[in-house]
Amino acid sequence: MKALLLREKGKWKEMKVEDVETPKPGPDEILVEVYAVGLNPVDYKTATGGNPNWSYPHILGLDVAGIVAELGEGVSKWKKGDRVVYHGALTKKGGYAEYTVTTANTVSRIPDEVTFQDAAALPTAGYTAYQSLFRKLPMEQIETILIHGGAGGVGGFGVQLAKHAGKKVISTASSHNHEYVKSLGADYVIDYNEENVITRVMEITSGRGVDVVVDAVSRQSATDSLDALAFLGHIVFISGAPDFTKIKPFTKSVSYHEIALGAAHQSGIHKAQEDLGVIGEEVLKLVNERKISPMLEEIISLEEVPDALSRLSERHVRGKIVAKIK
């Protein structure tokens, strides 16, 4: 089969499409014929530092949509020809290839009306946003949410999901992306280059602060955002924990929530792994009903992935990029 190969850590810009042996599914696994793969910052980040579980050449690509080609021993839920999408394990070879293997219990069924490209845009960013809001937070008690980076993947899905849930949504973005983020559902968009985000949040909330901050930017951003929280507020962090010492104990009574979507794969806990498939079904249903957009902005070839990852690394890509394999 053809695959985009990472020959050694740090060399992701030099990846080339080459011929390798088609993998075989083991017990409780399925072989997927890949039709589309979503690109994510985690691809170049992990490729830069490598992973001790990898053997080289390695194949990146966590967000895979395709057709079940072969069943491993013990798989009964799926059959050959089923249209599926999944979030893959960082420790295993990924989907920048014509075929790949994954665990059967983490897979979701793609509705007939949803394209492979739209489905592949969802897992890492969409599932992370969904887990942040609907697996961690008491949403019925929440009114106002600050979601950083509304033009990006996690932020964009977060804005849509929060607005669909009926919340007041504040987001951050460069000025040229303000209308785009508002089109996703944000009530207010703050230009983090030109405005003091905390000051503006306090103005919008009449000094109360927000009930929730969702931060997928950085540890420093999460720490700064603690000042935007209301009493009994929640901070959900994806790219590093905030400095908890910034909040004096027994003052705001803040709750902290770590999001690590891929940890389900490594947990060994069957229920945690199955929940990835459940989240996928729920997100796909919202896309199928046109209640949220997959935010697919660009479709590229497998050969174009390294250049597209370079653009992602510059942090100025809007929405999602997907590589079409078939």
pLDDT digits (tens, 9 = 90+) for 98-149: 999 999 999 999 999 999 999 999 999 999 999 999 999 999 999 999 999 9
Residue 266 pLDDT > 90, yes or no? Answer: no
Distances (CA, A) of 136 to 139, 206, 215, 290: 9, 26, 14, 24
| DSSP symbol at 3 | E
pLDDT digits (tens, 9 = 90+) for 27-71: 999 999 999 999 999 999 999 999 999 999 999 999 999 999 999
CA distance 123 to 59: 18
In this prediction, residue 97 carries a pLDDT of 98
Contact between residue 40 and residue 63 where contact means Cβ atoms under 8 Å apart: yes
Residues 6+ positions from 323 with CB-CB distance below 8 Å:
36, 37, 38, 39, 61, 96, 299, 300, 301, 302, 304, 305, 308
* CATH class of segment(s) 137-258: alpha beta
Residue 267 pLDDT > 90, yes or no? Answer: no
In this prediction, residue 125 carries a pLDDT of 97
**Helix boundaries (H) for the chain:** 41-49, 116-120, 128-134, 153-164, 178-184, 197-204, 219-225, 263-267, 270-288, 305-313
The half-sphere exposure of 138 on its side-chain side, counting CA atoms within 13 A, is: 7
Query: Mean pLDDT over residues 166-172, rounded?
Result: 98
* CATH class of segment(s) 2-123+265-324: alpha beta
Query: Mean pLDDT over residues 195-204, rounded?
Result: 98
- What is the SS3 assignment for 259? coil
CATH 3.40.50.720 spans which residues of the chain? Answer: 137-258
Residue 316 pLDDT > 90, yes or no? Answer: no
CB count within 10 Å of CB 112 equals: 7
Q: Residue 142 has which token pair? A: 């929440």
In this prediction, residue 270 carries a pLDDT of 82
CA distance 219 to 89: 24
Average pLDDT, the chain: 96
In this prediction, residue 269 carries a pLDDT of 79
Residue 262 pLDDT level (bands cut at 50, 70, 90): confident
Residue 297 pLDDT level (bands cut at 50, 70, 90): very high
Q: Phi and psi at residue 157, in whole multiples of 5°?
A: -70, -40
CATH 3.90.180.10 spans which residues of the chain? Answer: 2-123+265-324
In this prediction, residue 11 carries a pLDDT of 97
Rg (CA), the chain: 20
Query: In percent, how much of the chain has pLDDT > 70?
Result: 100
Beta strands in 24-167 (DSSP E): 29-38, 63-71, 83-87, 99-103, 107-109, 144-147
